[in-house]
Amino acid sequence: MDSEERKPFPNRWQSRIGEYFASWADQVVLVYLFGSWATGRVWAQSDLDLGVLFDRALPRRERWELTLRFEVDLVGLLKDKGEIDVRELNTAPLAFRYQVIRHQQCLYARSEAERVAF
């Protein structure tokens, strides 16, 4: 079994993710890092967990399709990472939303006002 170690989230990943989601600004409001990378408690099999808040005008089916696309695109973008799990925040339970934002690891915000409002 691989042991857990404390690791900061790599700046190179943060900038790549931020730039990627900036190109989706019409559809994506916020992207948060959560899970083991957000806490810094990482081990060899840790996946990358991202919570995405979509624009309210986006239909549910389109949000679902984009969630899948983001996972595929990000695996290609972050070749050195491995598995990536993207979760939609729009319909997520409040307790889950809290778990996502509590470590304050916002990787992309369309605007500061929208980040604060969330």
Per-residue b/e over 47-83, b at no fewer than 16 CB within 10 Å? ebbbbbbbbeebeeeebeebbeebeeebeeebeebee
What would the pLDDT profile of 78-87 be if each residue is shown by its tens digit? 876 668 889 9
Higher pLDDT, 2 or 73: 73
Query: pLDDT tens digits, residue range 33-60?
Result: 988 778 777 777 778 889 999 999 999 9
The mean of the pLDDT values for the chain is 86
Q: Which CATH class is domain 5-117?
A: alpha beta
CB 6 within 8 A of CB 40: yes
